[in-house]
Amino acid sequence: MTAAATPAEVVARLRAAFRTGRTRDLDWRTDQLKRLRALLTEGGDELADALHADLGKSRKEAYRTEIDFTVREIDHTLERLAGWLEPEPAPVPDVLAGASALTVQDPLGVVLVIAPWNYPVQLLLAPVAGALAAGNTVVAKPSELAPATSAALARLIPRHLDPDVVAVVEGAVPETTALLAERFDHVFYTGNGTVGRIVMAAAAKHLTPVTLELGGKSPAFVDRGTDLGTVASRLVSGKFLNTGQTCVAPDYVLTDPETAPALTDALAAAVEERFGPDASQSPEYGRIVNERHFDRLVKLLDSGRTVTGGAHDRATKYIAPTVLADVAPDSPVMGEEIFGPILPVLTVDGLDEAIAFIDGRDKPLALYAFTTDPAVRERLLTETSSGGVGMGLPLAHLTVSDLPFGGVGESGMGNYHGRYSLETFSHRKAVLDVPLG
């Protein structure tokens, strides 16, 4: 977009491109996805440098969790898109014998994708891929809190994609507010629930449907009798990836009082094994996004007994991977989504209390369970509500492109990834064809 273009002009330009009808064509959609793929492969190092500048992400992590992740999502779609777009026949009632009924996936038009700062490449471009696969044009709004990545995306997107099809609008609250005043055919927002409400209210003025990918406190239940070395190592990998700034990170751990001491010891050992005795020296360990979040997190460090971690340095926005024991349910760290490298371990007297604890709070984006007991798995699955469930391994469920990714209740509405993205960005149109004569 040119610097002078207003939101209304950007949307009008994309709507005009949509109305030409060219976005409906399968070859066009395939071509857009290939261009987006090329953006990620050719621009990968530029994006990885920006992610390092914004979040201290290592190159390995930048590729694994953002660039290659999104490439895989695109490849999954490219391989299956033609099949997904096949009209789906439906049987007709006897009175309509001779007629045919079909469901077709109709593109929506112009969609708005608003992304957050924590995975600023993946969370912008994976929805953009879904929107293009569904035959839409897209306004992409990166997060201003990851400014280097936002700038890199604003350079790369027009280099690889037709600006009449994907327009980048950078900016913060005023720019996003101005965008949200326009009429879109779908708004896809990832971020916190407070802004989610603002987005939904703005969209309601135009009766525009929304997808809200939000967060929350995702619990991890550790059953007695599990291999705590394995559990701790997996919890540490999931929790401290991106310095805990991951929407599906295990937020807190629930276990019984007998297991807790051995588990917290195992967590401390797993932290040291992964990041060494001083994580500030580890190339694999990132930094907190900004001072505001740093200050917020430092206030939570006193919420329990420090088993490992606690060190922090405002100048470099470093907070050590921290495990807290003896944490009370009403302590500050249990107030809101932590979204940082602090893992509180709380004790509950058995599964009933764990389920009551989870059900007594907002529905989380993910629930993790570490157990070998099928009855425990079954009860957790059926007696709690969450966006998704990871048995035995945090985070990995969202790498399965055939699974829907999204929240429920306070953790969001709607979902995407793979064919679920196509469904999110399409209208399922019913077509009945009754022959004349």
DSSP designation for 86:
S
303 binds ligand NAD (CB under 6 A): no
Name the residue number minimizing CB distance to ligand NAD: 215
Task: Output the smallest distance, CB 48 to ligand NAD, in A.
Answer: 19
* Beta strand segments in 124-190, E: 137-141, 166-168, 186-190
What is the helix (H) or strand (E) element at residue 294, kind and residue range?
A: helix 291-298
172 binds ligand NAD (CB under 6 A): yes
423: annotated active-site residue:
no
What are the backbone dihedrals phi and psi of residue 412, each rounded to the nearest 5 degrees, phi first? Answer: 130, -175
Q: Beta strand pairing status for 412-413 and 366-370?
A: unpaired
State which of positions 367-426 bind ligand NAD (CB under 6 A): 407, 412
192 binds ligand NAD (CB under 6 A): yes
115 binds ligand NAD (CB under 6 A): yes
Task: Output the smallest distance, CB 277 to ligand NAD, in A.
Answer: 30
State which of positions 310-329 bind ligand NAD (CB under 6 A): none
111 binds ligand NAD (CB under 6 A): no
Q: Which is nearer to ligand NAD, 107 or 219 (CB)?
A: 219
Q: Which is nearer to ligand NAD, 185 or 362 (CB)?
A: 362
Helices 68-84 and 122-133: crossing angle in degrees, nearest 10, is 10
* Residue 148 CB partners (closer than 8 Å, separation 6+): 49, 50, 51, 53, 54
Beta bridge partners of 343: 323
300 binds ligand NAD (CB under 6 A): no
For the chain, the 3-state helix, strand and coil shares in percent, each to the nearest 5, are: 45, 20, 35
123 binds ligand NAD (CB under 6 A): yes
Helices 173-180 and 193-204: crossing angle in degrees, nearest 10, is 30
Q: Which is nearer to ligand NAD, 209 or 404 (CB)?
A: 404
State which of positions 129-168 bind ligand NAD (CB under 6 A): 141, 143-145
Q: Which is nearer to ligand NAD, 223 or 423 (CB)?
A: 423
169 binds ligand NAD (CB under 6 A): no
Sign of CA dihedral 249, 253, 254, 259: positive
Question: Is 229 within 8 Å of 272 (Cβ atoms)?
Answer: no
Two tokens, residue 6: 């207003």
Taking Cα atoms as reference points, which of 241, 189, 214 lies closest to residue 65? Answer: 241
Kindly indicate which of the ranges 71-79, 112-120, 276-284, 351-359 contains the residues binding ligand NAD, using the contact rule CB under 6 A. 112-120
For 46, counting Cβ atoms within 10 Å of its Cβ (0-12 exposed, 13-18 middle, 19+ buried), the class is middle
112 binds ligand NAD (CB under 6 A): no
How many chain residues are in contact with ligand NAD, going by CB under 6 A?
A: 28
Distance CA 60, CA 64 (A): 6
177 binds ligand NAD (CB under 6 A): yes
Q: Which of 213, 337, 410, 423 is catalytic?
A: 213
Q: Which is nearer to ligand NAD, 203 or 323 (CB)?
A: 203
What are the b/e assignments for 187-217, b being 16+ CB within 10 Å?
Answer: bbbbbbbebbebbbebbeeeebbbbbbbbbb
Q: Which is nearer to ligand NAD, 175 or 265 (CB)?
A: 175
Kindly indicate which of the ranges 74-82, 83-91, 155-163, 191-199 contains the residues binding ligand NAD, using the contact rule CB under 6 A. 191-199
Among 44, 130, 191, 390, binds ligand NAD (CB under 6 A): 191
Catalytic positions: 213
**Chain residues that interact with ligand NAD, rule: CB under 6 A:** 114-118, 123, 141, 143-145, 172-173, 176-177, 190-192, 195, 198, 213-215, 247, 337, 339, 365, 407, 412
